[in-house]
Amino acid sequence: MNRQGKTEEANARIRLIVAMTIFGTIGIFVKHIPLPSSIIALARGIIGIGFLLIFTKIKKIKISFSEIKNNFPILSLSGMLIGIHWIFLFEAYHHTTVAVATLCYYLAPVFIIIASPFVLKEKLSLKKIICVTVALIGMIFVSGIFKEGGTENLQIKGILFGVGAAIIYATVILLNKHLKNISSYGMTIMQIGIAAVILLPYTAVTQNFGNLSFDFLTIVLLLIVGILNTGITYSLYFSSIKELKAQTIAIFSYIDPIVAIFLSTFLLKEKPDIYTVIGGILILGATFVSELQKD
């Protein structure tokens, strides 16, 4: 690789590190938004898609409508699931700690491994079976069942929403593997746009907008989640992954949960106990090994 190539790769690494760091902060902001999860998800979709459309226009990034048309059924389904995924994730943040919600959410690679023999016709190796088993044991530790008091410690709603978010996100990833000849920006704009379109009628039916209070801080936090955590972060993410190896992307993806857990501990004072720490190590360690080691 020549000097220019090395410089481009280094810049891509920096963009990816920044993107994954910002991804890890979303739980902190959501925790402080006193609104229903569907409202937060809808705002994220509308603000995020608005930013991405402006960004691609300024950067003169062309979006092929023929590519979108050819992939529209999968884009529609995955976009709808992304909207539901956001609601589940934000509900998890509201019903348990950011650390526990993040660790539950990070089971998504485990569910992909479990589904891959059936959906992608991939062989389920012994290594992957061990990694899945270790990650699920980690989930048991995170659940709180081993703490003094047993089932009384279970934050069942938060855990279920977090695991639900992981299953839905895993489904989106598997669906995206069936997309053909479409740019990353075209895919993202359509999926976020469809998520917003789906969330709008759902939110209108389930929420009474007249009873909602949007103070200055709430509006600022919604703008941060929509612009920073969605528009800017996705732009950085997709502009970087085109220039990096899959293994590098997999390694840097672990910045997200580490940042989330660190911030929840020091900013929200949600100090994880020894069981959460053990569970987190098992979950993140197992998914890390399953993604990086070759069979």
Q: Give the angle 237-240-243 at the CA atoms, nearest 5°.
A: 150
For residues 155 and 160, the model is more confident at: 160
Average pLDDT, the chain: 89
Burial of 173: CB neighbours in 10 Å, binned 0-12, 13-18, 19+: middle
State the pLDDT at residue 137.
Answer: 94
State the pLDDT at residue 123.
Answer: 83
Residue 85 pLDDT > 50 = yes
State the pLDDT at residue 184.
Answer: 85
For 94-135, how does the pLDDT look when each residue is reduced to its tens digit (9 = 90+)? Answer: 999 999 999 999 999 889 889 888 887 888 888 889 999 999
| CA–CA separation, 66 and 24 (whole Å) | 34
| CA–CA separation, 52 and 90 (whole Å) | 22
What are the angstrom distances between the C-alpha of 140 and each of 42, 105, 137, 159? Answer: 32, 14, 5, 10
Burial of 183: CB neighbours in 10 Å, binned 0-12, 13-18, 19+: middle
Q: Among 52-56, 144-148, 207-211, where is mean pLDDT lowest?
A: 144-148
State the pLDDT at residue 7.
Answer: 84
Give residues with Cβ within 8 angstroms of 204, minimum separation 6: none
The predicted model gives 60-69 an average pLDDT of 91
For 245-282, how does the pLDDT look when each residue is reduced to its tens digit (9 = 90+)? Answer: 777 887 888 899 999 999 999 999 988 888 899 999 99
Residue 175 pLDDT > 70 = yes
Residue 295 pLDDT > 50 = no
Residues 46, 140 contacting (CB under 8 angstroms): no
